[in-house]
């Protein structure tokens, strides 16, 4: 790497410290590197340290030997994982590297994965190269233990067994994984991504995190694959690459030497001259390395003089060298300055990692990871990009009545209750007027009370465990059943009683024209209510309610990545069908009897007294709408919103129709009579009916 000389000259000039730099070129050969080391050890003056080399086969023997000469060894381009193993401190105790090691890259991957809350990943490693296999082992341990990410499967691939690529990808695909991390060389990268293309494991539902290769055009090396460049471009589109940053991202920041990052960057690239090193990722690290050595030497020299009272000279004896080496090692180990931020931990640089994404044919920076602060800083963190799920998901989802539907239904029910209360107030206000009194206002009040109950059941039917605990919801199960059942009985039981009185009066001449008093009618309604209460109590005793969760048919969302299993909460009773049948039969008989009496009294021509026409019409509406409503509600019971909406609609329609048919004609006639001056208060209903009988009995009974 001939450009290094120019870079170091820039650094030395900026350091403003006299350094004797011996320029050796190892030619990538171990023997040449070792020969250079021996020459340095025999040189005068003896050097404090070695700055270089760029190649592992040269660095490793130099690092193992330099400890015996108490010689610091700082590499500006070494990235091999062997220098960060558990025994590296023992084997290479004086070796430092200014380039961020694999632990920086692995932590960046972990933070990036955590950023999108992925908890399950698959990985691919190149097993025949320790440069990739060893860091990958650390990565899987780091993800599992620090970031709580499940590494579901790791596929091992090699240059010699290329079929392992297909087998590995098929296994990852079978395990339903969507997030993949790769550790392999550029040569294998094209083969892997080609197979990714054929396995259809790319696109918006997949994420690939690859190494940041020095050559951005690695994907064009399609020789030996069965993919075209266009196929490779499709497969790698949107993938992420993680690599150590070439420069600090804050170009305007002032760094050591009182220059900005931008100034140093321009100076270094200018120093490269015709060497075309502008895209080389190590030139900034070479600059930082010279500064780190210079600061360490300066710090150690000052400490040596302060401690021993004399200035250290390279020609001193061996003990002086040992003392100076210890101070120099400590100074370099504790170095902290701003280039990029330079800080060492276990002889490795804690640096800045760059996160890139492949978009539209080139890499785009989307963020940085600072190893020193353990912070992932987004620059343009994927605006418009939606992170996919880490695997196909199956979720259980409770389905409730839509809030808006519940609110609208409740407002409609409250409107009905308000109308019923208006009818009730009018009925009470004019109860002593002849036209109202003859229509049995007390029973009319019961009809209104029953209608209010049925309106209230609309609200109760929409209440679920979102609003209360399971224990309270069980109580709601009882309440809504009782309210709806008793409301129906009060309304139609009262109409039946009224019709029975008309039938009794006009078909039984032996009653001596005496009207049937209200308390007898209340007894009839009370019997119907008592029958309901006994049935409901028996139901609660024999088969009490509990909350059951029914599973509905599942469906998929988001391109078949999420399988939703909807669940519906229901009030469950083992014998509910039997008791519901009993109640339905009793209500059916009540309506049939009411229809019969209404038919029998259809010729009674006393509008104030006879509601047979309106009662018959009410029963007809209730029967038709209820039959339709029950059928649709049963068919749509799994569609909770439709079932609730239709049930609420039918309850409202039948209740409102009943109220209007029973009360609107009376109120209209009452208003007309008041306007015509034909109405005046009566003392009792018996007087009204007796008077009516005396005046109209002969013409009504034919």
Helix 441-461 to helix 403-429 angle (10° resolution) is 170
Domain shared by 476 and 407, yes or no: yes
Q: Does any domain span residue 570? A: no
Residue 537 lies inside a defined structural domain of this protein: no
pTM of the model as a whole: 0.66
Phi/psi for 642 (5° steps) reads -65, -40
d(CA 48, CA 264): 26
DSSP 47: P
pLDDT at 5: 60
Give dist(CA 280, CA 1) in Å, integer.
Answer: 10
SS3 breakdown of the chain: % helix, strand, coil, rounded to 5? Answer: 55, 15, 30
Of 386, 81, 375, 376, the closest CA to residue 211 belongs to: 81
Do 455 and 594 lie in a common domain? yes
Expressed as residue numbers, the domain containing 212 is: 102-244+355-390
Could you list the mean pLDDT of each consecutive 10-residue stretch along the chain, which spans 702 residues?
A: 60 55 69 84 79 86 87 88 86 91 92 92 93 92 93 92 91 92 93 94 93 86 88 93 88 84 84 62 86 88 86 72 87 88 89 90 89 80 78 82 91 93 84 66 85 90 84 88 87 78 64 64 86 89 86 74 82 83 82 73 56 66 68 72 87 86 67 54 48 44 29
Statement to judge: residues 587 and 453 lie in one domain: yes
- 94 & 112 share domain: no
Domain match, 283 and 338 both: yes
Query: Which CATH number characterizes residue 67's domain?
Result: 3.40.50.2300
pLDDT of residue 700: 35
Q: How far apart are CA 25 and CA 31, in angstroms?
A: 12
Report if residue 464 sits inside a domain.
Answer: yes
In DSSP notation, 428-489 reads: HHTTTBHHHHTT-HHHHHHHHHHHHHHHHHHHHHT--TTSS-HHHHHHHHHHHHHHHHHHHH
- Structural domain includes residue 189: yes
Quick check: is 635 in a domain? yes
**647 and 662: one domain?**
yes
Q: For residues 332 and 472, state if they share a domain.
A: no
Residues 309 and 364 in one domain: no
Q: Among 80, 43, 42, which Cα is nearest to 63's?
A: 80
Q: Taking each helix axis from N to C terminus, what angle separates 261-272 and 283-308, rounded to the nearest 10 degrees?
A: 110
DSSP state of 388: P
Do 252 and 236 fall within a single domain?
Answer: no
Same domain for 333 and 218: no
Please give the pLDDT value at position 446. 87
Give the pLDDT score at 664. 73
The predicted pLDDT at position 415 comes to 93
Residues 375 and 486 in one domain: no
pLDDT value at position 122?
95
pLDDT at 121: 95
Q: Cα angle vertex 388, ends 386, 393, to 5°?
A: 135
**Residue 548: inside a domain:** no
**Residue 530 domain-assigned?**
no
Q: Residue 281 has what DSSP assignment?
A: T
Residue 491, C-beta contacts closer than 8 angstroms, at least 6 positions apart: 446, 447, 450, 451, 454, 655, 658
**Domain assignment present for 456:** yes
The Cα–Cα gap between 49 and 43 comes to 13
- Per the structure, the count of domains in the chain is 3
List the CATH number of the domain containing 457. 1.20.1070
Residues 473 and 490 in one domain: yes
Q: Which of 340, 369, 390 is the last residue of a domain?
A: 390
């Amino acid at each position: 790497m001939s450009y290094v000389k120019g870079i170091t000259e820039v650094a030395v000039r900026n350091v403003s410290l006299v350094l004797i730099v011996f320029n050796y070129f190892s030619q990538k050969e171990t023997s040449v590197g070792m020969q250079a080391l021996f020459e340095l050890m025999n040189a005068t003056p003896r050097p404090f340290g070695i700055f270089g080399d760029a190649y592992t086969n040269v660095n490793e023997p130099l690092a193992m030997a330099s400890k015996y000469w108490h010689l610091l060894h700082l590499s500006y381009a070494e990235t091999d994982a062997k220098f960060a193993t558990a025994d590296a401190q023992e084997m290479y105790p004086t070796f430092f590297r200014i380039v961020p090691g694999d632990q920086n890259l692995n932590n960046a991957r972990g933070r990036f994965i955590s950023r999108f809350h992925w908890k399950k990943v698959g990985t691919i490693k190149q097993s025949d190269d320790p440069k990739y296999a060893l860091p990958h082992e650390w990565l899987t341990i780091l993800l599992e233990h620090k970031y709580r990410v499940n590494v579901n499967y790791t596929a091992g691939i090699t240059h010699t067994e290329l079929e392992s690529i297909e087998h590995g990808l098929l296994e990852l695909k079978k395990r339903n994984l969507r997030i993949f991390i790769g550790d392999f060389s550029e040569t294998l990268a094209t083969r892997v991504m080609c197979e990714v293309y054929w396995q259809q494991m790319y696109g918006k539902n997949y994420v690939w995190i690859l190494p940041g290769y020095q050559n951005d055009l690695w994907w064009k090396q399609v020789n030996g694959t069965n993919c075209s460049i266009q196929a490779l471009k499709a497969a790698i589109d949107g993938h992420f690459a993680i690599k150590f940053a070439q420069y600090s991202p804050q170009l305007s920041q002032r760094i050591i030497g009182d220059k900005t990052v931008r100034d140093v960057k321009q100076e270094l690239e200018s120093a490269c001259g015709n060497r075309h090193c502008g895209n080389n990722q190590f030139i900034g690290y070479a600059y930082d390395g010279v500064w780190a050595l210079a600061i360490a030497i300066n710090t150690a020299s000052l400490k040596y003089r302060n401690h021993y009272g004399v200035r250290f000279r390279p020609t001193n004896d061996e003990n002086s060298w040992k003392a100076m080496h210890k101070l120099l090692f400590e100074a370099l180990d504790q170095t902290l300055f701003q280039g990029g931020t330079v800080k060492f931990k276990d002889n490795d640089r804690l640096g800045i990692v760059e996160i890139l994404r492949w978009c539209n044919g080139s890499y785009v920076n989307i963020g940085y990871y600072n190893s020193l602060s353990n912070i992932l800083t987004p620059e343009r963190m994927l605006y418009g990009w939606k992170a996919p799920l880490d695997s196909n998901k199956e979720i259980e989802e409770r389905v409730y009545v839509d809030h808006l539907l519940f609110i609208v239904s409740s407002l409609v029910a409250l409107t009905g209750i308000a109308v019923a209360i208006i009818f009730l107030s009018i009925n009470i206000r004019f109860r002593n007027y002849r036209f109202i009194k003859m229509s049995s206002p007390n029973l009319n009040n019961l009809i209104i009370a029953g209608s209010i109950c049925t309106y209230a059941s609309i609200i109760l039917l929409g209440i679920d465990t979102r609003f209360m605990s399971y224990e309270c919801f069980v109580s709601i199960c009882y309440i809504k059943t009782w309210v709806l059942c008793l409301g129906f009985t009060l309304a139609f039981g009262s109409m039946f009683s009224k019709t029975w009185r008309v039938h009794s009066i006009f078909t039984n001449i032996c009653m001596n024209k005496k009207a049937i008093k209200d308390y007898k009618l209340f007894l009839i309604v009370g019997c119907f209510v008592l029958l309901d209460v006994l049935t409901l109590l028996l139901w609660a005793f024999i088969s009490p309610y509990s909350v059951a969760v029914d599973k509905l048919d599942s469906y998929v969302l988001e391109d078949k990545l999420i399988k939703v299993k909807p669940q519906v909460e229901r009030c469950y009773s083992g014998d509910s069908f039997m008791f519901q049948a009993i109640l339905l039969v009793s209500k059916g008989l009540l309506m049939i009897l009411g229809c019969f009496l209404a038919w029998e009294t259809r010729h009674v021509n006393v509008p104030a007294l006879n509601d047979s026409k309106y009662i018959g019409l009410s029963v007809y509406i209730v029967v038709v709408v209820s039959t339709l409503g029950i059928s649709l509600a049963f068919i749509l019971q799994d569609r909770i919103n439709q079932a609730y909406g239709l049930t609420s609609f039918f309850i409202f329609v039948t209740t409102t129709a009943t109220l209007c048919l029973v009360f609107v004609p009376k109120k209209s006639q009452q208003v007309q009579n008041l306007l015509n001056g034909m109405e005046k208060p009566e003392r009792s209903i018996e007087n009204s009916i007796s008077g009516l009988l005396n005046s109209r009995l002969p013409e009504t009974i034919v």
